[in-house]
Amino acid sequence: MSYLSCKLFAALAEVILLCVANGLLVSWAGMANAESITADQILNSSDLATSSADEFQWRADGREVGFLSRTTSQGNQGAEFWVLEAKTGKRRSLLSAKQLAAICPKSQHSTAIAETRWKRAIRRYFWAPDGNAILFVGDTWLSWFDLRTGAGRNLIFGNESITDPKISPDIAWISFVKAHTLYLLSLQTGAVSTASKPGSAALLEGELDPTYMRDFKLTTGYWWAPDGSAITYIETDESLVPTHPTIDSLLGRSDEGSHAYIRVEDPHPSIRLFVCYVRSGDCSRAINIEDENDVYLPRIAWLPDSRHIAIERLNRWQNRLDLLIADARTGVARVVLTEEDRYWINIDDGLRFLRDGKRFIWSNERSGYRHLYLYRLDGAMLAQLTHGTWEVTRIAALDENENCVYFTASKETPTDRQIYRVNLDGSGFKRITTQSGWHNPEFAPDARTFVDTYSNALIPPRHDLIDADGTQIANVTPSAQTTQYALLPVEFLKIETHDGATMDAMIIKPASLDINRRYPVIVFINGGPGEQAVRNAWGGPIFLWHEMMAQKGFVVFAVDNRGAGGHGHVFEEPIHYQFGAQDLSDQRDGIAYLRQLPFVDCSRVGVWGSGFSGQIALHAMLHDSADFTASYVESPITDWRFYSPIFTERYLGPLHGAQGEYLQSSPIEAASRLKGKLLVAARSDESLVYITNMLRFEEALSQSGNYSEFAVLGGEDAASAETAALHFLVTRVTSFFTATLGSQK
C-alpha cells in the first residue's frame, strides 16, 4: 500500500476497504468457489435482483405501512399487498395475489401481447386519508378497494393513459390527468367532470411539460388544499413552441407526427396558475405571478389554512428565487423572501410549513452548502438549524410534537447518506443511523418510525423498520445474496487536485492483482450536476458490469470532478459558463494519480459516460488524447443549443449573451482532433434529442475526415430503451474495450 503516499496527497489518503468495514461483506476465504460475473447474469439473473418489496406507503395514522411484494415476474399474479405494524414490525397479508389480480379491470384487448401488457397492471397505490380504502393505479385504469367491506370497484378504465391520480383530503374525489386535462371523479356518484378547461398537446392543464419534471424534479402539476375544498394547478401554453418529429412517427409506430420539445433557441411556453373550487365548480381563478413568459414555478404548496398558496418563482436566468404567498380567492401575491446567487440557484424540496401557518422551514445554499433555516411568515429568520461544510440533501420528516426535523445529509463524507435530527431552535443535533453507506428513509406521518432503504457499494438494498431514535424494529426484506459471485473490493480514496481541491475517488482492482503486471483502465465518468460516480451505495447493473470488467483484468476507476453533486454548491460553481473545462481538468488529475500506481498501464486508458457525462468523456477524447485512448459515450449532449433551456441556461446562461460559452462547451468544435477509438450510442427518446445530438457530432466528425462507430439504442418506451442500453453496454462495449485496450501485460 506504499503507493498511497504519492505526490498527489497532502496526507495519507483515506482508503476504505468495504470487504472489511463493519464485518458485513464476504471474506476472501469464502470466494474460492465463487463464480465470475457474466453478461447473461447481469441481464437475466434473478440472483442479483434487488428487493422484491416496493412502494412503501404509510397509513395517515402512522400505525401501519403498506408495501407490494412482487415474488415473480408475472405481473399481479405474483404480487401481494402486505402491511407492517409500526410498533412491533409484525406483518400480515392484506390482499392476496388473487385479490390483487381481481382488482385489475379485465383487458379489453384482443391479442395475447396486449393482454400481457395489461396484466403488468398495478403501477402505484394510495391509502385513503382515513386508512379505510386503497386506490390502485394502472396505466389506463383506477380501482378502489374498501377495506371495511372487502369489496373493490373499477372507477375508470379504457385505452387512454391516466397520470398523476390523487385522493382528495376529504375523500370525496379522485383527481387525475387524461388527454392533457385535469379531471375529477366523484367517489359518491362515480360522475366525472373537468377541473380545468379542455387541454391539448399545446395547452397542458394540470400536466407538466417533461422538461419541468426532469430538470426541476417536479412530479405533479396540481395540488389539493389541505381541507379538500380546492385545487391549484399549472397551465402551460406551448402553442409557440416548435414541434419536432417523434421516433414513433418516423418508425411507423404511431400516427402522431410531431411532439413539442423546447430547445434553447425556441420561444418559452407561458405559465399560469389557477385555482379550482371543486364544490362550486369555480375553476377559473388566476393567481398573479407577474411575468408568465420568462419565469419558472418549480415548487408550489398550500398553507395549512387552505386559503393561501406558497409559490417559488424562479427567473429565467435562474439566479433569483422569490417565495410568494398568494391569496387563493383574490389571486393577489406578495414576496416573503428572495434568494440570489452569482452563479445559479438549485431547487430542492426544503419548504415545510408548521401547523400554525406562521412559520416555515426553508433551505438555501448561501454558505456554499445547503442548510436548513426557520423563518416567520413575514420573512424574518428565526434560527439557522444546521451548519458546516457539508450539505443537507433531503428533509425526511417534520415532527412538531417533538419540535424537531429529520433529514439526510453528507456530513460524514459525500460518499454516504446518513439520517440526522435537529430541534427547531438549532439545538439537539443528532445522527440517527450508524452504518456506513446510503440511507433513504420513508417516515411515518407522525415521524415516530421510518422504513430505511439501505445499501452500500457491495450490498444490494434492504429494507428495515426503524424507530425515530435509530433502533431497528424489524428487517422487512433482506439484501439479495451476492456471496456466490466473486465481487471485488471497492476502495474509496481522497485525491488532491493540482490546485488544492479534494476529490472523492473509487477504484476496483483486477482479481489476483500482480503489481509486476500492468493493467488497462476503464474510467467511469458520472460527474454532471446532481450526479455522483463515487457513492457508497449499490450501483445496480452498471456496478456489476464494472465488476465483470475488473474480473477480466481491467482497473475500474472514477472521481467526482467539480460540478458533481453531493459536495455542496461551492464544489459545483467552477463549471459555470464552461462545460468540459473544469470537469476535464479534474479527470486529468485522476489520471495523474493512476500514473503513480505501478500496476496501471496509462497508455491504455478507456473512458465512458452517459448524457452530460457522455459529453465530458467526449471532451476527454478530443482534448486529451495523451491520457485517453478509447471512449464509449452514450446519449451525449454535443450541441447545447439542442437541449432543454431549463438545464442549459442554468449553467451557460441564455444563448444570446453566451454564444462563445456555448461553442466552447460543445464537443463538436473539436471533432477534428479525434485520435483514439470512439464508440457512440444514442437512445431513441420520443423527442429525438439524443439522436439529433449524435448526428450533429457524427456530421462534424465526417467533415473533418474522422469517423466513429455509432449505434441507436431503440425501444418503444423508456423502459425498453433502458434495457437496450444495458444490453449494448454488457455486450458490445465489453468487446470494444477488450479489443482497444487489451488485457493485462
> What does the pLDDT average to over 329-342?
97
> What does the pLDDT average to over 372-380?
97
Q: How confident is the model at residue 687 (pLDDT cuts 50, 70, 90)?
A: low
CA dist 732 → 475, 544, 552, 721, 726 (Å): 40, 16, 15, 16, 10
pLDDT at 9 exceeding the cut of 50: no
Q: How confident is the model at residue 118 (pLDDT cuts 50, 70, 90)?
A: very low
Residue with cell 397551465: 235
At 603-614, the pLDDT tens digits run 999 999 999 999
Helix (H) or strand (E) holding 745: none
Per CATH, which fold does 52-161 belong to? Neuraminidase (2.120.10)
Q: How confident is the model at residue 524 (pLDDT cuts 50, 70, 90)?
A: very high
pLDDT at 19 exceeding the cut of 70: no
pLDDT at 657 exceeding the cut of 90: no
Q: What is the pLDDT of residue 15?
A: 33
Q: Is 325 left (phi over 0), alpha (psi -120 to 50) or beta?
A: beta
> What does the pLDDT average to over 47-60?
76
pLDDT at 29 exceeding the cut of 50: no
Domain boundaries, the chain: 2-33+482-741, 52-161, 377-471
3-state SS, residue 284: strand
Q: Give the burial class of 155: count Cβ atoms within 10 A of its Cβ; 0-12 exposed, 13-18 middle, 19 or more buried.
A: buried
Residue with cell 438494498: 461
Q: Among 69-83, 514-528, 600-614, 663-677, whose mean pLDDT is lowest?
A: 69-83
Dihedral sign for Cα atoms in the order 467, 472, 477, 480? positive
What type of residue sits at position 660? G
Q: What is the pLDDT of residue 572?
A: 96
Do 327 and 308 touch, CB atoms closer than 8 A?
Answer: yes
Tell me, rounded to whole angstroms, the distance of Cα 481 from its chain centroid.
26
Q: How far apart, in whole angstroms, are the C-alpha atoms of residue 426 and residue 667?
A: 47
Q: What is the pLDDT of residue 4?
A: 33
Q: How confident is the model at residue 5 (pLDDT cuts 50, 70, 90)?
A: very low
pLDDT at 255 exceeding the cut of 60: no
CATH of domain 2-33+482-741: 3.40.50.1820
CA dist 671 → 190, 310, 701 (Å): 60, 47, 5
Q: Which of 525, 517, 503 is nearest to 584 (CA)?
A: 525
| Grid cell digits, residue 87 | 410498533
Which tops the pLDDT comparison, 274 or 293?
274
Mean pLDDT of the chain: 89
What values do phi and psi take at 226, rounded to 5? -55, -30
Helix (H) or strand (E) holding 342: none
Q: What is the pLDDT of residue 34?
A: 65
At 545-594, the pLDDT tens digits run 999 999 999 999 999 999 999 999 999 999 999 999 999 999 999 999 99
Which of 8-22, 50-64, 688-702 has the highest mean predicted lDDT (pLDDT)? 688-702
> What does the pLDDT average to over 628-647?
95
At 302-322, the pLDDT tens digits run 999 999 999 999 999 999 999
> What does the pLDDT average to over 219-244?
95
Which one-letter DSSP state was computed for residue 730? Answer: I
pLDDT at 13 exceeding the cut of 60: no
Q: How confident is the model at residue 26 (pLDDT cuts 50, 70, 90)?
A: very low
Q: How far apart, in whole angstroms, are the C-alpha atoms of residue 558 and residue 567?
A: 15
Q: What is the pLDDT of residue 111?
A: 45
What values do phi and psi take at 150, rounded to 5? 75, 20
At 149-158, the pLDDT tens digits run 999 999 998 8
Radius of gyration of the chain (CA): 26
| Grid cell digits, residue 125 | 397505490
Long-range pairs, 718-724, Cβ under 8 A, ≥24: 718/685, 721/683, 721/684, 721/685, 724/683
Q: Among 219-233, 245-259, 318-332, whose mean pLDDT is lowest?
A: 245-259
Task: Specify which residues 203 forms β-bridges with.
Answer: 200, 237
pLDDT at 365 exceeding the cut of 60: yes
Q: How confident is the model at residue 284 (pLDDT cuts 50, 70, 90)?
A: confident
Which tops the pLDDT comparison, 715 or 30?
715
Q: What percent of the chain has pLDDT over 70?
A: 88
Q: What is the pLDDT of residue 586?
A: 97
What values do phi and psi take at 542, rounded to 5? -65, -45
pLDDT at 10 exceeding the cut of 70: no
Q: Give the burial class of 160: count Cβ atoms within 10 A of its Cβ; 0-12 exposed, 13-18 middle, 19 or more buried.
A: exposed
